[in-house]
């Protein structure tokens, strides 16, 4: 097998653990805190989780290990989209398991939760694990988006666990995956299977966070990867001085990625979906904001710039959300067949015009034809518009071009506007993890085994104090139900982990808000450069600007 020099060096990197996990398994004890309750809907959540609700938060510390010794056979699952560091969660779990007893066994269920249901697995050994240490991706066992949510699935999972003598399952995933982990833990507890379930917080979107989970893993590496690319584009823009770059970044439900990249690179424009929703901004108002920056920079002879667009921003525009709802109704049931049978776009446009309200048709008419047609492309399994397929970066550049054309006709603008478009998404999901993510993920996996060893179930592996050096990190666990509320999903009220959106009164957004007017008019670009793995800790081990601002560092 041919390895790059960096790949070989990363295999040999020794991740840093929190101080209390460095004492050795026999010298780690538990300190229990107060009982917990869910963030909302306490009566409903407690009724749904009678065996796992209200448990205590716990912290690990130096002291005599009091856990009952027994052979542990653990299964691990990677669930949902990839995130840098996932391999190290598995490696940390494996190392803690083997450090406790060489008789312990780790199963890796392939391709996500479906591997557990289909009994498709590998048994890890040292050689297998060593080939994936400190590397990006989920290719160690693959991932998948099968949801564990029905009693029939739980029964199958219980049988597979019984067949292999499995004592615990670790699910590495985002908010939906960890919601499923909590429901599975409740089923296993209610049916006395003896199988524990532990979750680990993963998502590059950054929306699995709260007062306990300071950061989901993968966010640090992904945003550093995107910020390097954005910085490169900024340098190019400032060199060529003739293009406006519209850059879409991942983040459909929340704008954490866009905000972090803006804090890292100081672009001229960064849209924040949560602000768009709060201010009920229209597409025209958003285009005005960007066009104003273009015009002011052009007046200074700078016909170039950079705008960061979160991929889900259009869903936060109230008038656009209404339009999407009307389109979904317009093409419901057999009406979709009638629409698709029309031969030309002109005929389809007339069909649309008859079916939409006057207000929504006005919004639709604003859109470039390519975007109009994207709204009527392949539907999702529920027959709805797939908003994620909309090229919002092209939508806003087209709207801005139209604004500027009118401004030029009115004598308000005399610059040049040429737009280029980018989407940064998959580039960051499987990057070599930063030192922060390599250390954090290894700690999450190691800590997950400690939760198993002490008999906890329905808990999330928790590492906190993350803005400090790793030896000051605090390891422990929190009941997953603490993060839950009830939400309407597919016509039913369901318990789910509450997504964390960008807080407009939070320190990261407030810093951005205080500086963005200057960034919009002047060239204040910063160039983060490539992720650094070797050198001073002040360069190699730094965390995100978001976390540093939140913690006042």
User: In the chain, what are the domains?
Assistant: 20-218+433-497 (3.40.50.450), 220-425+506-550 (3.40.50.460)
pLDDT (average), residues 351-356: 94
| pLDDT, position 79 | 97
CB 112 within 8 A of CB 148: no
Pick the closest to residue 540 from 431, 417, 412, 439 (CA basis): 439
| pLDDT, position 382 | 59
CA distance 304 to 246: 11
Q: Where are the alpha helices (DSSP H) in 375-492?
A: 392-409, 426-429, 435-453
Given a cut of 90, whether residue 353 has pLDDT beyond it is: yes
Pick the closest to residue 351 from 340, 362, 360, 359 (CA basis): 340
| pLDDT, position 510 | 98
Q: Strand 244-249 and strand 474-479: pairing?
A: unpaired
pLDDT band at 23 (very low <50, low <70, confident <90, very high): confident
Share of residues in the chain with pLDDT > 70 (%): 98
pLDDT (average), residues 155-179: 97
Given a cut of 80, whether residue 1 has pLDDT beyond it is: no
Q: Strand 269-270 and strand 305-310: pairing?
A: parallel
Residue 344 φ/ψ, nearest 5 degrees: -120, 160
Q: Which residues contact 295 (CB under 8 A, 6 or more apart)?
A: 404, 407, 412, 413, 415
Given a cut of 90, whether residue 138 has pLDDT beyond it is: yes
Ranges 289-298, 347-356, 386-395: which has the least confidence: 386-395
Top pLDDT among 376 and 509 is at 509
Catalytic residue among 95, 175, 176, 205: 205
The pTM of this model reads: 0.95
Q: What is the pLDDT of residues 245-287, one digit of tens each?
A: 999 999 988 999 999 999 999 999 999 999 999 999 999 999 9
Q: SS3 for 270?
A: strand
CB 144 within 8 A of CB 112: yes
148 vs 1, 48, 120, 144, 201, CA distance in Å? Answer: 36, 16, 16, 11, 17
Tokens for 518, please give them: 């200057």
Residue whose tokens read 């960008």: 502
Residue 238 φ/ψ, nearest 5 degrees: -75, -15
| pLDDT, position 114 | 97
pLDDT (average), residues 180-200: 97
Q: SS3 for 281?
A: coil
Top pLDDT among 24 and 250 is at 250
Ranges 129-143, 332-346, 531-545: which has the least confidence: 332-346
Arithmetic mean of pLDDT over the chain? 94
pLDDT band at 25 (very low <50, low <70, confident <90, very high): confident
CA distance 476 to 447: 7
Q: What is the pLDDT of residues 406-452, one digit of tens each?
A: 999 999 999 999 999 999 999 999 999 999 999 999 999 999 999 99
CA distance 5 to 414: 51
Given a cut of 90, whether residue 489 has pLDDT beyond it is: no
Question: What pairs with residue 62 in β-bridges?
Answer: 28
| pLDDT, position 477 | 97
| pLDDT, position 438 | 98
| Catalytic residue status for 205 | yes
pLDDT (average), residues 210-221: 95
pLDDT band at 80 (very low <50, low <70, confident <90, very high): very high
328 vs 36, 111, 469, CA distance in Å? Answer: 41, 32, 50
Given a cut of 90, whether residue 91 has pLDDT beyond it is: yes
Given a cut of 80, whether residue 389 has pLDDT beyond it is: no
CB 467 within 8 A of CB 507: no
Given a cut of 90, whether residue 43 has pLDDT beyond it is: yes
| pLDDT, position 252 | 85
pLDDT (average), residues 213-221: 97
Q: Where are the alpha helices (DSSP H) in 331-367?
A: 335-340, 345-355, 358-366
pLDDT band at 377 (very low <50, low <70, confident <90, very high): confident
| pLDDT, position 379 | 66
CA distance 246 to 411: 25
Given a cut of 90, whether residue 102 has pLDDT beyond it is: yes
Ranges 136-145, 180-189, 338-347: which has the least confidence: 338-347
| pLDDT, position 235 | 98
Given a cut of 70, whether residue 380 has pLDDT beyond it is: no
pLDDT band at 22 (very low <50, low <70, confident <90, very high): confident
CB 139 within 8 A of CB 148: no
| pLDDT, position 491 | 75
């Amino acid at each position: 097998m041919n390895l790059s020099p960096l790949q070989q060096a990363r295999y040999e990197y020794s991740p840093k653990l929190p101080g209390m996990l460095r004492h050795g398994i026999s010298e780690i004890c538990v300190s229990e805190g107060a009982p917990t309750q869910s963030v909302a809907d306490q009566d409903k959540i407690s009724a749904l989780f009678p065996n796992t609700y209200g448990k205590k938060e716990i912290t690990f510390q130096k002291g005599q290990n009091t856990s009952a010794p027994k052979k542990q056979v653990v299964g691990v699952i990677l669930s949902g989209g990839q995130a840098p560091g996932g391999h190290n969660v598995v490696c940390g779990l494996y190392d803690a398991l083997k450090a406790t007893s060489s008789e312990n066994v780790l199963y890796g269920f392939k391709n996500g939760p479906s591997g557990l249901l289909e009994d498709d697995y590998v048994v890890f050994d040292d050689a297998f694990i060593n080939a994936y240490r400190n590397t990006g991706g989920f290719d160690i066992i693959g991932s998948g988006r099968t949801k564990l949510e029905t009693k029939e699935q739980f029964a199958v999972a219980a049988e597979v666990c019984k067949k292999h003598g499995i004592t615990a399952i670790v699910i590495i995933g985002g908010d939906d995956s960890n919601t499923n982990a909590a429901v599975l833990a409740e089923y296993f507890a209610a049916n006395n299977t003896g199988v524990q379930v532990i979750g680990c917080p993963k998502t590059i979107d950054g929306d699995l966070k709260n007062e306990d989970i300071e950061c989901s893993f993968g966010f640090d590496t992904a945003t550093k990867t995107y910020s390097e690319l954005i910085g490169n584009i900024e340098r190019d823009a400032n060199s060529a001085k003739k293009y406006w770059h519209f850059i879409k970044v991942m983040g459909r439900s929340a704008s954490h990625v866009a905000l972090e990249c803006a804090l890292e690179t100081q672009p001229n424009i960064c849209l924040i979906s949560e602000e768009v929703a709060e201010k009920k901004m229209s597409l025209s108002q958003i285009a005005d904001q960007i066009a104003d920056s273009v015009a002011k920079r052009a007046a200074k002879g700078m016909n170039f710039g950079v705008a960061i667009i979160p991929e889900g921003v259009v869903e936060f525009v109230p008038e656009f959300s209404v339009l999407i709802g009307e389109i979904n109704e317009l093409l419901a049931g057999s009406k979709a067949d009638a629409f698709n049978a029309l031969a030309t776009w002109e005929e389809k446009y007339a069909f649309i015009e008859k079916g939409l309200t006057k207000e929504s048709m006005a919004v639709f008419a604003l859109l470039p034809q390519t975007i109009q047609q994207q709204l009527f492309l392949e539907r999702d399994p529920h027959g709805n518009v797939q908003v994620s397929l909309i090229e919002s970066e092209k939508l806003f550049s087209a709207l801005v071009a139209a604004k500027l054309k009118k401004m030029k006709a009115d004598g308000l603008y005399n610059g040049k506007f040429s737009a280029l478009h980018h989407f940064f998404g998959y580039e960051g999901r499987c990057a070599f993890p930063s030192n922060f993510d390599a250390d954090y993920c290894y700690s999450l996996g190691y800590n997950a085994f400690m939760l198993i060893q002490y008999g906890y179930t329905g808990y999330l592996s928790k590492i906190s104090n993350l803005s400090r050096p790793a030896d000051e990190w605090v390891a422990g666990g929190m009941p997953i139900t603490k993060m839950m509320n009830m939400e309407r999903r597919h016509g039913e009220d369901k318990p789910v982990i509450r997504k964390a959106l960008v807080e407009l009164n939070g320190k990261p957004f407030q810093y951005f808000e205080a500086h963005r007017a200057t960034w919009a008019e002047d060239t204040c670009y910063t160039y983060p450069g490539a992720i650094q793995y070797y050198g001073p800790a002040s360069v190699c081990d730094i965390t995100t600007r978001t976390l540093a601002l939140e913690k006042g560092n």
